[in-house]
Chains A and B, each alone.
Chain A
């Protein structure tokens, strides 16, 4: 099945700086890569996703890039704000299952 590795496990940035989280996957046939944000005590919420037929997708301050050759994808958050502080999970798909990375705890300090 799909194996997804995520780095770093923790990330601390100053408000206004950019944050980058990277994930690698093992199954070259994978074609869908969502990113979820989970605030403390809350449910994971989809923030952006990318399908394998595109290399980049952007939604306001959030962007995701996909390199199918290298089998890695990244989340980019620009102009970070304190409310961006949360745990972020990347995922790949095996069958009907999401295989999640271990998560990145992002802290944005004012």
Chain B
């Protein structure tokens, strides 16, 4: 099976702009999670979607949002970009069927490197 893919791989934006990142999960996976990776904060959970519904949300401001489509592909959007939003944004997919306190293996995509100037 093809792995998790993310587009674009690199983005450069300026403060105040907005950005949309895309993630295509492994075929058959219905759960998509998003994480932000920075040198200072490490890997932090943003949100998780399953069958087009957000089931879990991390501690990020409302400028960060996401959605999932019927084919399980997911997008995340960041509005009013700030310098501190510069990071590697990773998505991960899993089957999503093991319930709360999920024990499903999460497979990561290559990430989108966002630079905010």
Q: A residues engaging B (CB < 8 A)?
A: 29-32, 34, 36, 42-46, 49, 51, 89, 93-103
Contacts and interface: CB of A to CB of B under 8 A. Distances in A.
6 contacts: A43-B111, A45-B108, A49-B105, A98-B92, A100-B43, A100-B44
Given A32-B102, A43-B110, 18 more contacts: A36-B108, A44-B43, A44-B90, A45-B108, A51-B103, A94-B101, A95-B55, A96-B55, A96-B100, A97-B33, A97-B56, A98-B45, A98-B92, A100-B35, A100-B43, A101-B42, A103-B42, A103-B43
Q: Which of A36, A43, A49 has the most CB of B within 10 A?
A: A43
A97 B48 CA distance: 7
B40 to A, nearest CB: 10
Q: Which 5 A-B pairs have the closest CB atoms?
A: A97-B45, A100-B43, A32-B103, A96-B56, A43-B108
Interface residues of B, number: 26
Interface in B76-108: 90, 92, 96, 100-103, 105-108
Contacts of B16: none
Nearest to A29: B101
B66 interface: no
Nearest to A45: B108
B58 A46 contact: no
Contacts of A31: 101, 103
Main secondary structure of the interface of A (DSSP, over half): strand
Contacts of A99: 45
Contacts of B96: 96
A13 to B, nearest CB: 22
B31 interface: yes
